[in-house]
Each structure stands twice: as structure tokens, then as C-alpha cells.
Amino acid sequence: MVDLYALPTQLPGWPLHLIKERFNSSYHGDFERWRNAAESLPVTSTEGCVYDDTVTAEMACDQKTLDAIELSLKQLHPWRKGPFRFGDLHINTEWRSDWKWQRMRQTLGNLSGQRVLDIGCGNGYFGWRALQAGASEVIGIDPSILFCIQHYAIQKFFNDERNWVLPIKVQELPISVQFDLTLSMGVLYHRRDPVQHVRQLFDLTAMGGRGILETLVVTDAESLYPSGRYARMSNVWCVPSTNQVVDWMQQVGFNQVQIVDVTTTTVDEQRSTEWMHFGSLSGCLDDQDPSKTIEGHPAPVRAIFMGLRSS
């Protein structure tokens, strides 16, 4: 059975002691409530796991058991990355993360035997998709204890030790372990020093490996440095131009940098649901002009970049 305090192997030099320190009520006041919600999940027999667009645990259970599962999982609100399905219970997350995966799936290709690092992984959704593409192991890191416990709850159904989510920050990692594929999905614009984040992505990528960087961008020539909020977010320090991101990736050492995709985020892709009932994208756009945020900035556009580490 899955253990909240279990540690993956082959991560020498990593600060794994921080897991036990952070999985503690003294670190976060809601820890015990969240852990109790995950522990209260009914023990069920999973008939099969499918890591497709909707990451699914096939199982047959009566309505009473299904209601108990729903009650436990809704105590881990908000659910942002997904979707997931457990038996007949569908978790309709804020983000249609499967759409983002589809945009880069062809570029990623077959990940057979590759080890993957997912920086800012949330509840680990992209880890399941990487396993479906052939990855041998995915290590996800995210400072949010809630998202780590969401993953722990998900693992109650899958019990798959190839996908980990650890409460560690990227700046806490040494480069003693490097990965065939490093992912940074939706992190860059939250960093005060975006170039340092791109350098960390490069340093954690093994020779011959690839780095994937997904971020908010502007399509103008000049990057945007919001003086206040951006789309109601207070921790957006830079929304770079696409050319700026390419320059940063080349500057730190990535070769063959390419823009994989540029897509405007819509209210169909990011929205409030019964599993994430806080405000979402629709409340961040100008009512009269949805091409702008409520602050008057260009509305969210996201781009995916890929680079190769060849030296």
C-alpha cells in the first residue's frame, strides 16, 4: 500500500528529509484535515488503470462507496489539474490539462525508459500522462502540501510507485540527479528571476535530454512586467515575449530551441467547476473586451518551448 512518507530511490543528495518535516501539522495548519480526508477513502479493488486524457481507475462499487469517495476527495478542494475518474466518479478539474498535454504529445514522442522531472507538478497529472507515453519514472515536485496529499489520495487507487509528488522547491534541489526530460509547466512567470529558473531547468536535464518550458507569454515584441496584478494574480513578475523565452533558453545552454505551441487560454480550458469553485479565468477578463485582463493587460496566452541539452 502507498505510504505518505515513502521515499523514491536513486535521488542521492536530494533533501528528502524535508518530506517528513513538511508533512506535519506544525508546517501547515490544514495538514491533519487533509491527511484524514485521504485516509478516510474507502478501500476498493481497482480493476485497471488507464492513464489517458482522463486518468482513470476502473472499479465497480456501490453508490454508498462512491458517495464516500466523493465526500473524501471534495475535502481536498480545490482540484486544479486533471481530469480524473474513479469508477463512475468524474473529477472535473479547473484545468483541462489533457488539452495542454495534447499540444505537446507529438513533440514528446515515445518516452520509453526515460526518467522525468515535473517541476511545479500540482497533483501529478502530467506524471500519469508521461507514464502512458513510456516513461520509467516521474518525480514531481510542488511546494503545495495540498497538491501532494491529492496525489497521495490518487495513489490510493493506482498504487503505482513510478509516479511521485514531493513537497520540495526546485531551488532546493542539487544537480546530483539529472533527468532525461524536465518539465516546467506554468512556473516561470511566478519566478522573480526567470532566467535563474530556466538555468535550473537546464542544470537538472541530463546530457542528451530535453527541457520543456510552458508559460504565459505575450505575442508583442516586448515582455510584460506587471506593476500590480495580472489576471488577478499578485505573483506574476514577468510575462515574457516568445522571443525572450527562446533567448533565455539559448543563453543557459539549451540547443535546438523550438516553439512547440502558442495558444490563447479560453474559459473552456480553465474554469470554475464543482471541484474548483473559486474564481477562475472568466472573472479575470474584461467584461467588455475579453482580449484583455481585468487590469487592461493582454489576456492569457500560453506557449510551450522545447530545448535539447547537448553539452
Statement: residue 161 has pLDDT above 80: yes
pLDDT at 184: 98
Instruction: Name, in order, each residue with C-beta under 8 angstroms of 131's C-beta and a sequence gap of 6 or more.
Output: 51, 138, 160, 162, 163
Q: Could you tell me the pLDDT band of residue 43, with boundaries at 50, 70 and 90?
A: confident
* Longest alpha-carbon distance in the chain: 57
Q: Could you tell me the pLDDT band of residue 2, with boundaries at 50, 70 and 90?
A: confident
Q: Could you tell me the pLDDT band of residue 46, with boundaries at 50, 70 and 90?
A: confident
Statement: residue 1 has pLDDT above 80: no
pLDDT at 173: 96
pLDDT tens profile 60-118: 999 999 999 999 999 999 999 999 999 999 999 999 999 999 999 999 999 999 999 99
- Domain boundaries defined on the chain: 17-308
How far apart, in whole angstroms, are the C-alpha atoms of residue 108 and residue 61? 36
pLDDT at 185: 97
Asked if residue 95 lies in contact with residue 270, where contact means CB atoms within 8 angstroms, the answer is: yes
CATH architecture of the domain formed by 17-308: 3-Layer(aba) Sandwich (3.40)
Sheet architecture: strand order including 89-91: 48-51, 55-58, 84-86, 89-91
pLDDT at 311: 82
pLDDT at 183: 98
| 213-242 mean pLDDT | 95
Statement: residue 9 has pLDDT above 90: no
Cα atoms in the 13 Å half-sphere on the side-chain side of 311: 6
Asked if residue 86 lies in contact with residue 159, where contact means CB atoms within 8 angstroms, the answer is: no
The residue to which cell 467584461 is assigned: 287
Q: Could you tell me the pLDDT band of residue 120, with boundaries at 50, 70 and 90?
A: very high
Pairing of strands 115-119, 137-141: parallel
**CB atoms closer than 10 angstroms to residue 307:** 27
Q: Which three cell numbers stand for residue 268?
A: 473552456
pLDDT at 67: 96
pLDDT at 44: 82
pLDDT at 136: 98
pLDDT at 32: 97
**Which helix (H) or strand (E) segment is 198 a member of?**
helix 194-203
pLDDT at 179: 98
Q: Which three cell numbers stand for residue 202?
A: 537546464
Q: Could you tell me the pLDDT band of residue 220, with boundaries at 50, 70 and 90?
A: confident
Q: Which of these ranges, 2-6, 141-145, 200-204, 257-261, has the smallest mean pLDDT?
A: 2-6
Q: What percent of the chain has pLDDT above 90?
A: 95
Asked if residue 306 lies in contact with residue 235, where contact means CB atoms within 8 angstroms, the answer is: no
pLDDT at 5: 92
